[in-house]
């Protein structure tokens, strides 16, 4: 479930749109270092994703607690069903039967009275059991309802926090992009105004110089000059637009290459760490198995043995040896069974 949650967080369309808008806003910046801003924003996004993963783990822990509570309640029910109530009823029935056998002959009234007592006892026990089961069921339902309410509240809070975080992120991105665009437009206006003013000054000087010399051709010169100015302006705008598009595409390609390199490096590092952990785990497992095979174990209690008896039998203490001797003496290679009297006792004491 953690992997599914992380995949849902990573593959959501809103996050991909946010990353694309982030790259678009970064590509427009020329004064600051683009690589540094990309890395900072990627780190920030990774921190947000890690926080989301922690929240999903907390949800899973709550679900596991619900399962543990239900299992405990089922165990208590089973313990009551298999507990002392049935044993007490059986003991009462056994005592009634023993009293009947000891007293010998009894009339039918006593038998009926005993049977009525047994039925009343069984009815009381069944009533108590039903009451206990109802109380347990009510408590279990209350616990489940409280846990469900807490879980729903936490889910609602988490969703609200996520929505607020996404809205803040989108608003910040919009604000940054709008400010950058306004700054670029103002800079472009100022440059165009300066260039236009320079061109107008040049035109005015030319007209002032030529007006005296060529008064008859002033109209033609004005038309030609206006046409040339418009043509130059169109060429200038086209050239400037083409240069901006080339720089923007180059920056986008550079950012894409850097992001791909970072992703490849992260995947390689993760695979390297996983392989190292696997090798370390296999080495520790081999060492533990080898150490376990080197030790000897007690034939009676399966603990670590320090007193050998014969080629394949060892014990942790004399008590275990004496307890296990009745089984081991038939197979012992030291043949202690055939030593008579005091010699056998001495050999047992030596062991």
Residue range 271-318, pLDDT digits in tens: 999 999 999 999 999 988 888 777 788 888 888 888 888 877 888 988
- DSSP-H helix ranges across the chain: 2-10, 13-27, 34-81, 84-103, 108-213, 218-294, 318-328, 341-350
* Cα 351 from Cα 337, distance rounded (Å): 14
Q: 3-state SS of 204-220? A: HHHHHHHHHHCCCCHHH
Pair 89, 122: CB distance under 8 Å: yes
d(CA 45, CA 208): 63
- 65 pLDDT higher than 70: no
CA–CA distance, 336 with 343 (Å, rounded to integer): 9
pLDDT given for residue 28 in this prediction? 44
169-178, Cβ contacts within 8 angstroms, sequence gap of 24 or more: 169/18, 170/18, 173/18, 173/21, 173/22, 173/25, 176/25, 177/21, 177/24, 177/25, 177/28
* Model pLDDT, residue 29: 42
Please determine, for residue 67, whether its predicted confidence score (pLDDT) is greater than 90.
no
For the chain, give the percent of residues with pLDDT over 70: 66
**Does the pLDDT at position 86 exceed 60?**
no
Q: Give me the residue label for tokens 């670590």.
A: 304
pLDDT reported for residue 175: 75
Per-residue model confidence (pLDDT) at position 145: 79
Question: Would you list the domain boundaries of the chain?
Answer: 234-268, 297-332
Rounded Cα distance between 121 and 129, Å, is 12
Reduced to 3 states, what is the DSSP secondary structure of residue 297? strand
Task: Tell me the pLDDT of the chain averaged across its residues.
Answer: 73
- Considering only residues 73 and 126, tell me which one the structure prediction assigns the higher pLDDT: 126
What is the pLDDT, as a whole number, of residue 342?
A: 40
Position 15 pLDDT exceeds 70: no
- pLDDT exceeds 50 at position 24: no
39 CB burial (10 A radius; 0-12, 13-18, 19+): middle
At 348 the pLDDT is 46
What's this model's pTM, rounded to 2 decimal places? 0.24
Of 141, 128, 149, the C-alpha closest to 73 is: 141
Phi, psi of 334 (to 5 degrees): -90, -5
d(CA 203, CA 112): 134
The answer to whether residue 7 scores a pLDDT higher than 70 is: no
More confident residue, 223 or 41: 223
Q: What is the pLDDT averaged over residues 225-250?
A: 89
Residues 51, 56, 61, 65: what is their CA dihedral angle, to the nearest 10 degrees? 140
Spatial CA neighbour of 122 closest among 76, 79, 90, 98:
90
Residue 203: the pLDDT is: 82
* Per-residue pLDDT, 281: 93
Confidence band (pLDDT; 50, 70, 90) for 174?
confident
CA 166/CA 18 separation, integer angstroms = 9
Residue 274: the pLDDT is 93
| Highest mean pLDDT out of 56-60, 217-221, 320-324 | 320-324
In whole angstroms, what is the distance from residue 333 CA to residue 191 CA? 108
Q: Retrieve residue 107's tokens.
A: 């009339």
Which has more pLDDT, 18 or 169?
169
CB 299 within 8 A of CB 313: yes
The pLDDT tens digits of the residues spanning 110-133 come to: 556 666 766 777 777 777 777 777
Q: Which of 50-54, 100-104, 269-273, 294-298 has the highest mean pLDDT?
A: 269-273
- Give 187: exposed, middle or buried? Use CB within 10 Å, 0-12, 13-18, 19+: exposed
Computed from CA positions of residues 122, 124, 125, 130, in that sequence, does the dihedral angle turn out positive or negative? Answer: positive
The pLDDT of 56-63, averaged and rounded, is 72
């Amino acid at each position: 479930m953690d992997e599914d949650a992380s995949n849902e967080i990573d593959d959501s369309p809103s996050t991909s749109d946010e990353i694309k808008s982030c790259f678009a806003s970064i590509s427009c910046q020329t004064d600051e270092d683009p690589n540094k801003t990309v890395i900072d924003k990627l780190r920030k996004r990774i921190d947000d994703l890690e926080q989301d993963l922690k929240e999903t783990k907390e949800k899973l822990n709550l679900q596991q607690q619900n399962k543990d509570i239900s299992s405990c309640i089922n165990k208590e029910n089973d313990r009551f069903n298999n507990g002392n109530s049935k044993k007490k009823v059986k003991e009462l029935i056994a005592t009634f039967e023993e009293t009947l056998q000891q007293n010998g002959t009894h009339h039918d009234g006593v038998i009926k009275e005993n049977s009525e007592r047994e039925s009343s006892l069984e009815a009381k026990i069944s009533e108590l059991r039903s009451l206990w089961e109802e109380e347990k069921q009510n408590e279990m339902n209350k616990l489940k309802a409280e846990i469900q309410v807490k879980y729903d509240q936490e889910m609602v809070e988490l969703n609200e926090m996520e929505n607020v975080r996404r809205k803040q992120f989108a608003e910040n991105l919009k604000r940054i992009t709008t400010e950058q665009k306004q700054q670029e437009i103002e800079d472009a206006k100022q440059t165009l105004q300066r260039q236009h003013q320079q061109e107008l000054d040049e035109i005015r000087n030319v007209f002032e110089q030529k007006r005296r010399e060529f008064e008859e051709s002033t109209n033609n010169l004005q038309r030609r000059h206006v046409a040339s100015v418009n043509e130059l302006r169109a060429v200038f705008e086209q050239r400037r637009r083409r240069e901006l598009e080339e720089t923007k595409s180059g920056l986008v390609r550079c950012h894409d290459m850097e992001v791909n390199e970072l992703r490849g490096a992260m995947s390689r590092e993760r695979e390297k760490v996983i392989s190292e952990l696997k090798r370390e785990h296999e080495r520790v497992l081999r060492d533990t198995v080898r150490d376990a095979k080197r030790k000897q174990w007690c034939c009676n209690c399966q603990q670590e043995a320090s007193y050998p008896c014969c080629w394949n039998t060892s014990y942790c203490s004399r008590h275990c040896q004496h307890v296990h001797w009745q089984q081991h003496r038939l197979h012992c290679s030291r043949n202690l069974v055939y030593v008579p009297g005091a010699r056998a006792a001495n050999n047992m004491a030596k062991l």
